[in-house]
Structure 1
Amino acid sequence: MTSHQTQAVRPQPQADPRRWAGLAVLAGSLLVVVMDMTILNVAVPALAADLRPSSTQLLWIVDSYSLVIAGLLVTVAALGDRWGRRRMLLTGYAVFAAASLLVLVASTPWAVVAVRALLGVGGAMIMPSTLASIRTLFPDPRERATALGLWGATAGVGGGLGPIVGGLLLENFSWHAAFLVNVPVMLVAIVAAWILLPESRADRPAPLDAPAAAGAGVGLVALVYAIKHLSKEGLTVPSVAAAVLAVVALTWFVRRCLRRPEPVLDVRLFTRRPFTAGVLAALLTSLAMAGAMLLGAQWLQLVEGLSPIRGGVALLPAAIGGAVAAPLAPGLAARVGVRPVLAGGLAVGGLGFSLLFWAPQPLEIPWAAVAFALVGISTGSLAIASALIMGSAPADRAGNAAAIEEVSYEVGAALGVATLGSAAAGVYRGDLPVAQLREAGLPDAALPAVQDSIGGALTVAQQLGPAGQAVADLARTAFTDAFTKVGLLGGLLMLVAAAAVWLLTPRDLDLADGHH
């Protein structure tokens, strides 16, 4: 028998009998990492009241976590392939627990920034390692798709639970509790992962390329920074410089990877259409969810007057939609095909967004809840996207695929907040009736604060006495109008994305094919 024939009949790797218990550990730790992204939003007011950070310090407290994750993903995934993914995961758990504990001695704003950055280091170790471990734990492509569906559902639930858990903790404890809640979960995860997860590493790990890894880190940090700050501040010197640096560093990185036979990140994976379709779907679904959650939370709390906890509960339809759809998506794809489920999921998200605009106006919470649920259901397509990304990559490139998928989530979320948040701010400013605001008694000196944001408008309204109610009502009407119009914009974006993914995904693609 020839070596070629021997390879053809090589049996599928034996599935680990503890794989589903191992998945529970991976999903549980991911839940905490994702919750940590949203839980801080609730803790910020109490933290700001206690530590009195400047606006710049507050920005870094919020941003440092995602910037560090973006900067380290490529390097950490490459190290995990070489060093061992379980070892990287356990180290990530330990770093996350230690950083969360350090908040007890963080008594200045910059100390909290350092804690958040260290949490980002732990998060960067955990996130791609969970995906690469799933690729190893589940050699069967159909089982892997189901596992990735459950993993994706956990991420959706984590994003939804963050504000609620944060709100409950802050009603009973100080803002430190939003960090300390991570410690016991991570300690349990360390023990469970040690017992249940097998060690895995790439058979042929790419040689470590320190300049390329540094280039990727600098480029991705600059990209996420530029996206966030161009939307908030416009064309300032720092934001434009960051955008230029991102383009230069990432272009250099891609060219270096293409020239090397064993690159630190195999960008040639993008020549595989299913892989590219999966990355595009992951990026745009993340964009849609981040935009919907940001604007939805503001509308529920500042316009509808809900408390942070009740606002979080009102957003739960999105998490529930994702939790139901993600585990069901692989089975549906097996029946009707990958392409209809992947593109169809994006289209459902587009319909959800558009519903904000087409629902009876002024928008009411029940209609918004249906829209959030549809956007949540669209995240079910992430299970398929993830299966395509991880299945299209050879086992040796599992870390590469995981890093690219996680980068698409990070960049997608930043883009969602930037593009949809900026569009909403622009529409809000344009829809504010300046003449009516003046008639209601708003002084010209206070007009910029009212035009800047709905939060600024409500703060000014509180200081105006009897005239404040009319100013607040006009601002709330303008913000609701902005929210619904941006819903239409987001809906159109998702429908265009659905068409692009439909064209990219091969018609006869089957998740059971393994890598394509």
Structure 2
Amino acid sequence: MTLATEPTATRRRWAGLAVLSASLLLVVMDITILNVALPAISADLRPDAMQLLWMVDAYPLVLSGLLVTVSGLGDRWGRKKMLLSGFAVFGLASTLILLADGPLAVIAVRALLGVGGAMIMPSTLSMIRTLFTDPRERATALGVWGAMAAVGGALGPILGGLLLENFSWHSAFLVNVPVMAVAIVAGLFLLPESRTAVRARWDGAGMLLSIVGMVALVYSIKNLGKNGLTDPVGLATLTLAAVMLGWFVLRCLRRPDPLLDIGLFRSGPFTAGVVVALATSIAMAATMLLMAQWMQLVQGYSPLETGLRLLPTAVFALVASPLAPALAARIGARTVLAGGMAVAGLGFLLLFVAPLEYGWVALALVFVGLGQGALAIASAVVMSGSPVEKAGNAAAIEETSYELGSVLGVAVLGSVAAAVYRAGLPHAVEGSAAARESLGGTLDVAAQLGAEGERLAVLAKAAFADSLAITGAAGAGLMLAATLAIWWLTPRDLDLGSTHH
């Protein structure tokens, strides 16, 4: 796309960034709205524990399975076409929620949203890489992009709370429709088309291997997390995932035009950025899901009050994200990356060592938010460490790390939390499936038991608080490990303003 003058080109670039950031904001918002909407969906549709888990995980399962394939298609077909098609799919899926009359229908809508998300997420990152060729400008643009993710995290629970207090839970999905319509129109006018210059041969077998391998991996993690490490279905799908993904990696290494450039991992900074994405999303997914339930079911806050009380993380991430590139230029990208992980780790640790009262929880959320500012640097390292023609590949790997991390967090840390919760329940109710599966189920049982039920409710709330604290400790340990890995992988003199790493 040729533009007449530099000022015009600059305006178009930043206007294009606004469209890309808005689309990311909506996808992030959609995830956080669901956390707040889950109790209302549960009360209306009465899903069992497995269906509830699938409502959360259907979206990242489909998204993570399709990211590699869709980003490869976008690189060849055109990133703008892929992005606008993603907007259309996301809007259509959100409209279909009006037809959802049971848990399985909600899961199906979430899966279709995953298809749209897979088309949107890597396209936004790779188009920033092609829109902003100047490395310092790109680092700033990625800081803005990261800030929009934080805004989405902030607006999701609040908007979700407002919608749920005035309308049915369906509105949490329908809010996407008008935004997607505007994004399609704006994207048509503001975004340039970009694609890989060399038209490589499409690898159909590689596409199949990546989809089957990623879906099998995520599904096996969910099953092993739910049913224990000896679950035969979990072990079988894990074996299938290892074979498929191993075969996919070998195929990519041998082909001159691979679907995914595995060679990107030879770069230490690129790998460090991926570690940041993976570790952060594992810790955040599980903790925030439990936190939203703790605030509503234990503390008794409404959905809107819950959204407002979760604000500190998003607000401080919003403050830190745009400042991160400038801070990296002054004290070094490695220090900002590793320091961000350490600060976030301190927030998770507070959930374990401090009393679970809102004042301490708010302070923990502040630290987590400040630490999340490092994610802007992680994206800048990932994107600037890869050549332009591999922008889609790099974006797909980073986004896959986020989505895989979310599933790992909910499945693994969520299972640990569930085990801690069940251990805190009195033996008298352990035989009741509803009481053992979730805090909501226990409180429903307790409501029918009179005075004995009141004692059960107190014990259940205490057990749930313990499970949240243990999850915080696990998150802190993960952040410490990530901090050390990043410090080791990232060169001390890494300069995000340079085109060479």
Is the 8 Å Cα contact of residues 72 and 124 (structure 1) preserved in structure 2?
A: yes
- Cα distance in 2, alignment partners of residues 329 and 248 from structure 1: 40
Superposed CA offset, 1:323-376 (max 9, x none): 1111111110000001100000000011111112222x3x21010011011112
Q: Pick one of 164, 173, 183 that aligns with 2:177.
A: 183
1:418 is aligned to 2:411 = yes
1:311 is aligned to 2:306 = yes
Bigger Cα Rg = 1
| TM-score normalised per structure 1 | 0.90
Shift of 1:133: 0.5
Q: Pick one of 33, 58, 61 that aligns with 1:67.
A: 61
The 5 Å alignment of 1:244-263 reads 244-263=239-258
RMSD value over aligned CA atoms? 2.2
- Cα distance in 2, alignment partners of residues 108 and 450 from structure 1: 22
1:322 is aligned to 2:317 = yes
Q: Structure 1 471/45 Cα, relative in aligned 2: closer, same or farther at 3 Å?
A: closer
- Cα distance in 1, alignment partners of residues 454 and 60 from structure 2: 38
Is the 8 Å Cα contact of residues 90 and 113 (structure 2) preserved in structure 1?
A: yes
- Cα distance in 1, alignment partners of residues 339 and 297 from structure 2: 33
396-405 vs 371-380, which deviates more?
Answer: 371-380
The 5 Å alignment of 1:29-108 reads 29-48=23-42, 50=44, 57-107=51-101
Superposed CA offset, 1:446-499 (max 9, x none): 4x6545443333222212101222222222223223322332232122112101
Is the 8 Å Cα contact of residues 99 and 115 (structure 1) preserved in structure 2?
A: yes
250-259 vs 460-469, which deviates more?
Answer: 460-469
SS in 2 for 1:513: coil
- Cα distance in 1, alignment partners of residues 421 and 102 from structure 2: 35
Is the 8 Å Cα contact of residues 349 and 378 (structure 1) preserved in structure 2?
A: yes
- Cα distance in 1, alignment partners of residues 105 and 289 from structure 2: 26
Q: Which residue in the other structure is 1:354 paired with?
A: 349
- Cα distance in 1, alignment partners of residues 476 and 53 from structure 2: 29
- Cα distance in 2, alignment partners of residues 444 and 427 from structure 1: 13
Q: Structure 1 105/424 Cα, relative in aligned 2: closer, same or farther at 3 Å?
A: closer
- Cα distance in 2, alignment partners of residues 266 and 51 from structure 1: 44
Q: Which residue in the other structure is 1:125 paired with?
A: 119
Q: Which residue in the other structure is 1:483 paired with?
A: 468
Instruction: For structure 1, list consecutive stretches of 5 or more residues without a partner in the other structure.
Output: 1-11
Q: Which residue in the other structure is 2:3 paired with?
A: none
Is the 8 Å Cα contact of residues 285 and 378 (structure 1) preserved in structure 2?
A: no
- Cα distance in 2, alignment partners of residues 258 and 406 from structure 1: 21
| TM-score normalised per structure 2 | 0.93
Shift of 1:51: 5.1
Q: Which residue in the other structure is 2:496 paired with?
A: 511
- Cα distance in 2, alignment partners of residues 423 and 31 from structure 1: 30
Amino acid at match of 1:18: R
Is the 8 Å Cα contact of residues 71 and 393 (structure 2) preserved in structure 1?
A: yes
1:145 is aligned to 2:110 = no
Q: Which residue in the other structure is 1:4 paired with?
A: none
Q: Which residue in the other structure is 1:383 paired with?
A: 376
- Cα distance in 1, alignment partners of residues 333 and 430 from structure 2: 57
Q: Structure 1 444/410 Cα, relative in aligned 2: closer, same or farther at 3 Å?
A: closer
Shift of 1:290: 1.1
SS in 1 for 2:133: coil
- Cα distance in 2, alignment partners of residues 445 and 281 from structure 1: 41
1:297 is aligned to 2:282 = no
Shift of 1:197: 0.9
Percent pairwise identity: 63
Instruction: For structure 2, list consecutive stretches of 5 or more residues without a partner in the other structure.
Output: 1-5
- Cα distance in 2, alignment partners of residues 176 and 403 from structure 1: 30
Amino acid at match of 1:176: H
Shift of 1:511: 0.3
Shift of 1:282: 1.0
Superposed CA offset, 1:210-242 (max 9, x none): 110111111111112222222122243332222
Q: Which residue in the other structure is 2:264 paired with?
A: 269
Shift of 1:135: 0.3
SS in 1 for 2:192: coil
